Amino acid sequence: MQVIGSKWSYFVIAQLCQGPQRFNQLRRSIGEVSIKSLTDTLRQLEQRGIIHRQVIPTVPVSVRYSLTDSGRGYGEVLLQMRNWGEKWGMSDSQATSL
């Protein structure tokens, strides 16, 4: 559970389960997250081997985030937790706070 210790980790992993995304794509899709919180969350997930950060040498430089094999496995676990919460009457916010 330490991997999803951050408030935003669940949302980042859930978004990346849909495919690789750039920073601003993640920020728009998650919504209320600040730039600092998203940056910190992405760094923590990268350090734990959950996501991969790919620098794309364009002008300006672009960065794309994707799930590693471990991250995809973790995403499956999070999906099961969400499904469990829905089955037993928990809202998404209650299920993500587990």
pLDDT at 84: 85
User: Alpha-carbon torsion 16, 19, 25, 28, what sign?
Assistant: negative
The C-alpha atoms of residue 94 and residue 87 are separated, in whole angstroms, by: 13
Average pLDDT estimate for 34-60: 94
The C-alpha atoms of residue 51 and residue 6 are separated, in whole angstroms, by: 14
- pLDDT digits 0-9 by tens, 51-72: 999 999 999 999 999 999 999 9
pLDDT at 3: 59
Average pLDDT estimate for 35-42: 95
- pLDDT digits 0-9 by tens, 5-32: 678 998 999 999 999 999 999 999 998 8
Two tokens, residue 80? 């099961």
Question: How is the chain split among helix, strand and coil, in percent rounded to 5?
Answer: 55, 15, 30
Two tokens, residue 93? 């916010």
Average pLDDT estimate for 78-91: 80
Structural domains of the chain, ranges and CATH numbers in brackets: 2-90 (1.10.10.10)
